[in-house]
Amino acid sequence: MKIPLALLVTLIFSVASTVSSLAAGDRYALVIGNAKYPDAEAPLKEPINDARDVAEELKRDGFNVEVGENLTGEAMRRAFERLYGKIKPGSVALIFFSGFGVQSSRQSFMIPVDAQIWTEADVRRDGFSLETVLGEINSRGAGVKIALIDASRRNPFERRFRSFSAGLAPVIAPNGTLVMYSAALSSVISDNGTDRSLFVRELLKEIRTPDLMAEETLNRTRVGVTRASRSEQVPWISSSLAEDFSFIPGSGPKTASPPPPAPAPPVEQATVVPPPPPKQVEIPPPPPPKQVEVPPPPPPKQVEIPAPPPSPPPPAKPAESSPTVLALADDPTIKSLTAKLNDNPDDAAALYRRGQVYASKGAYDLAIKDFNNSLRLNPKDVEAYNNRCWARTVIGDLQAALKDCNEALRLRPNFVDALDSRGLVNLKSGQTKNAIADFDAALKINPRLTSSLYGRGLARKRNGSIAEGDLDIANAKAMDPNIAKEFADYGVQ
């Protein structure tokens, strides 16, 4: 029996509409913007607006979108569980996260607003591993997994355990995954002072371009961010997509005009080429700056500082610039720790943690007082010795600082944080050779420890090795644009 042409056209149109509807209905997105972290000096300006803008665009593109703002750990867990529950075999699942991210054990963790991070182990306890989330999405049968992570920010937690690497780590993702970070691996960027991020602005512009596959959309985003930031911010992409996917439903793999040429990216960046096979394609992490072979680090005990250098370092900030005790008392974290200490004045852990918060907010005298009491209760607390060394160095009490760092290294030889701190003591004291030796030793253990790289650069220049010093400083600034300001706050220029 022949089917009338009109009926055949109707059937074809109906099937096509059903497929299109199914494709749109099988797109799920979880969009999170975390801005109000109690441990930060002020709420982040960008994440909430960026999350709302991304959510609206994804809704227009046929995604079923859930938006979360300022989510606690429990709220993030529930949001991920709801996303997992929606996924069907062949679905598209997308995650957008803007907030603070921390890498630990070569994994990237998204941090909820109520995270209590004092040690590296706390990151794994309170954070959400991107690899774990993508693995769970994959186990539910999602065909396309996309993660857009805008979390390469300098976070408020790093002075609590200085040995971790800045920025985010490469992700080992299942096949069919497309991941993009807003900045290069192990690098951080500064907020641009506006209420929208450069990364999201360029991303939304490219998503709205018709007839682009997702990989090309993100590659164009990378080009746009690189150009707009003059190569100071170069997003990172990893792809193992095994099928064509476009953010705009109905777009096919058509030939599109190539993107304008991007500025030459930094040396550590590699251009992502979308791979045809399903095999995971990964951009390797950027190589560490070339190291000059140096002798082993000096013995833990160094000679006392005989006299200040001919050109004394700038004095510490005047007392009136420090936060007032009243203002600090209203800080939620300090308030919580003070309440614990009111109940138990001999809580050494609470004293140490409050000292860390005081130091991070520039209240060094209060920090040192807490570290003193913490060490009175636990005389072998190597972390407290190191942090007191650093705080004393900042305020210029260099003789006492050197003793603290030496004691930390006696208790834990080759402790990278204490080597870094002692390098700062020697740098401020004018002992440039000792400073270089300490920073060299720290960088052998952690080649991407930005503070040691920048400090070694300053020490090398003061010791007459201008070219080598400039190279260290340039590499440190490429990894952390704020490192010069951080050292200026320490009284070192």
**What is the pLDDT, as a whole number, of residue 81?**
97
Note the helical H segments in 171-210. 198-207
Q: How far apart are CA 257 and CA 92, in angstroms?
A: 26
Q: What is the pLDDT along the chain (493 residues), one digit of tens a residue?
A: 444 544 444 444 444 433 333 344 599 999 999 999 988 878 999 999 999 999 999 999 999 999 999 999 999 999 999 999 999 999 999 999 999 999 887 889 999 999 988 877 888 899 999 999 999 999 999 999 999 999 998 887 765 665 556 788 888 888 999 999 999 987 888 766 788 999 999 999 999 988 899 999 999 999 999 999 888 899 999 999 888 899 988 655 544 445 555 554 444 444 444 444 444 444 444 454 444 444 444 444 454 444 444 444 444 443 334 456 666 777 777 887 888 899 999 988 889 888 887 887 788 999 999 999 999 999 998 888 998 998 999 999 999 999 999 999 999 988 888 999 999 999 999 999 999 999 999 888 877 788 899 999 999 999 999 999 999 999 888 777 778 888 888 888 8
Asked if residues 202 and 265 have their Cβ atoms less than 8 Å apart, the reply is: no
**What is the pLDDT, as a whole number, of residue 251?**
59
Q: How far apart are CA 126 and CA 75, in angstroms?
A: 12
**What is the pLDDT, as a whole number, of residue 328?**
78
- Sign (positive or negative) of CA dihedral 154, 451, 264, 145: negative
Bridge partners, 147 (sequence order): 95, 179
Q: Residue 161 is encoded by which pair of tokens?
A: 């355990």
A 10 A CB-CB count for 151 gives 25
**What is the pLDDT, as a whole number, of residue 164?**
54
Domains, the chain, ordered by start: 24-239 (3.40.50.1460), 319-489 (1.25.40.10)
Q: How far apart are CA 355 and CA 367, in angstroms?
A: 4
Q: How far apart are CA 31 and CA 29, in angstroms?
A: 6
**What is the pLDDT, as a whole number, of residue 428?**
94
Query: How much is the pTM?
Result: 0.57
**What is the pLDDT, as a whole number, of residue 232?**
86
**What is the pLDDT, as a whole number, of residue 211?**
84
Amino acid at 292: V
Buried b (16+ CB within 10 A) or exposed e, 194-223: eeebbbbbbbbebbebeebbbbbbbbbbbb
**What is the pLDDT, as a whole number, of residue 417?**
85
**What is the pLDDT, as a whole number, of residue 362?**
82
The C-alpha angle with vertex 105 and arms to 102 and 110, in degrees rounded to 5, equals 30
**What is the pLDDT, as a whole number, of residue 160?**
64
- Beta strand 107-110 with 128-129: parallel, antiparallel or unpaired? antiparallel
| Token pair 């441990």: residue | 39
Asked if residues 55 and 31 have their Cβ atoms less than 8 Å apart, the reply is: yes
Measuring CA to CA, which residue among 192, 185, 190, 136 is closest to residue 165?
Answer: 185
